[in-house]
Structure 1
Amino acid sequence: MNFTEKAWEIFNRSIADYHVSNDVNAEIQNPYDESDLIAHLLYKKNWIDTVQWHLEDIIRDPEIDPVEALRIKRWIDQSNQERTDMVEYIDSWFLQKYADVQVASGAKINTESPAWAVDRFSILALKIYHMREEANRTDASSEHISQCQTKLNTLLEQHQDLSTAIEELIQDIASGKKYMKVYKQMKMYNDEELNPVLRGKK
């Protein structure tokens, strides 16, 4: 099993586990311990994405209480920070795994790190899960189902293409044809010293 096959299996397990309760307050029960660190990180990454997916649904309720909306908005902000942190942990795993690779002369850098591609892969798993739900609805119009099936087919094609692209990137890094550089996101809005609004509240 290659990396993307393993990641896809883990992402779908996380999504299925979440939907047992389908509750944004459910606590993660990560079945992978840190002896398989990448599996542990991938499951946690997708769980964060899955909870946030449903928070984004909830906050769009036009009748939501404004106080509750603000609470969820701040929850989403925290989730975005956790998501970024997980991407950086996954990139650290890749950096360590390929630390001893001899970079070839003329090696190129990719526009995104492996973990940011994995981030898109995790979100894609959620899109496919929920679009498949829509395509299989029995209470929707035939037009809705047809449109969702068309979208699902495109997402499934994207799964194949993104899987291939990620595998090729990993192979290029492993062979020294490409090299990794990881830039910490350095988000400013959560930092009391960098966000002028927060700084003014100190």
Structure 2
Amino acid sequence: MEKSPIGVAPIVVEHLTRLQTEAVERWHREPIDDPYSGFESLVCQQHQQNFRLWHAEDEARDRLATDRQLAKVKRSIDGLNQARNDLIEKLDDAITAMLHEGGVSVDEQASINTETPGSVIDRLSIMSLRRFHYREQLDRDDVDADHRQTVTNRVTLCEQQHHDLAHSLQELLDDLFAGRKRHKTYRQMKMYNDPSLNPAIYRSRQAGSLDVRRL
């Protein structure tokens, strides 16, 4: 990888947010795909988990769903959320590799950000979904003027927050690739999907083993 000019990251946040926005719109019309490569492909894969999660969360709140259907959706949400978090880590690992390949040296006094770039990319992904679905509400013909005004106000707020977050991420990336800030991957270390760490799983397995022995 070629070294970037001091203070300029090889990752352009505007390209990533455009990817997320266009993908959300496309995936509501066509099958989920990943036509990208390199870091953008990782961003797309992470974005896919949020897209699936968003709609699974909607299904989980369907008051007409049966208990069996809700249990199935809940298990799906757990798996998607685990994949989502794993991909946040992969995004941060990829940035670590890019910094190493670019020969970036970090100032000894450099500080660490409270949030990693991978986590911010995740937030931007969710924000792109929120923006799409709020705009979708404006197309409904079964709502009144108050509802439309509330949604319009929220769309405006979403746009402001999205702009601020994207701008802050670009500043962070530029600081990282200029060596003005330190970068590291923070491991999520989720416990609930690990059979050896979740008491509800390992205790039920232990109880099952005891029952088998009694037989």
Return the TM-score normalized by structure 2.
Answer: 0.85
1:144 and 2:147 matched: yes
Could you give the per-residue CA deviations for residues 135-180 of structure 1, whole angstroms, max 9, x where no partner exists? 3333321111111000000000011100110001001101111111
Amino acid of the structure 2 residue aligned with 1:15: V
Q: Report if aligned partners of 1:121, 1:162 keep a CA contact under 8 Å in 2.
A: yes
- Partner Cα distance (1:119, 1:16) in 2: 17
Amino acid of the structure 1 residue aligned with 2:196: E
Q: Report if aligned partners of 2:138, 2:152 keep a CA contact under 8 Å in 1.
A: yes
Matches within 5 A, 1:89-100: 89-99=90-100, 100=103
What is residue 35 of structure 2 aligned with on the other side?
31
Amino acid of the structure 2 residue aligned with 1:50: F
Q: SS of 2:28's equivalent?
A: helix
What is residue 174 of structure 2 aligned with on the other side?
171
Matches within 5 A, 1:78-117: 78-99=79-100, 100-117=103-120
**Residue 19 of structure 1, aligned match among 11, 22, 28:** 28
What is residue 131 of structure 2 aligned with on the other side?
128
Amino acid of the structure 2 residue aligned with 1:43: C
Name the structure, 1 or 2, with higher relative contact order (CA <8 Å, separation 6+): 2
Instruction: In structure 2, list runs of 5 or more residues that go unmatched.
Output: 1-9, 207-215
What is residue 211 of structure 2 aligned with on the other side?
none
What is residue 6 of structure 1 aligned with on the other side?
15
Give the deviation of 1:128 after TM superposition: 0.6
Structure 1 pair 2–90 and aligned structure 2 pair: CA distance change class (3 A) = closer
Q: Report if aligned partners of 2:92, 2:184 keep a CA contact under 8 Å in 1.
A: no
Q: Mark the structure with the bigger radius of gyration.
A: 2
Give the deviation of 1:2 after TM superposition: 5.9
Q: Report if aligned partners of 2:25, 2:132 keep a CA contact under 8 Å in 1.
A: no
Structure 1 pair 98–119 and aligned structure 2 pair: CA distance change class (3 A) = same
Q: Report if aligned partners of 1:135, 1:146 keep a CA contact under 8 Å in 2.
A: no
Instruction: In structure 1, list runs of 5 or more residues that go unmatched.
Output: none
What is residue 195 of structure 2 aligned with on the other side?
192
- Partner Cα distance (1:46, 1:115) in 2: 11
Q: Report if aligned partners of 1:136, 1:145 keep a CA contact under 8 Å in 2.
A: no
Return the TM-score normalized by structure 1.
Answer: 0.91
Q: SS of 2:160's equivalent?
A: helix
Give the deviation of 1:183 after TM superposition: 2.1
Q: Aligned residues, how many?
A: 194
Amino acid of the structure 1 residue aligned with 2:159: L
Percent same amino acid at aligned positions? Answer: 32
Instruction: Give RMSD over aligned pairs.
Output: 1.5
Q: SS of 1:152's equivalent?
A: helix
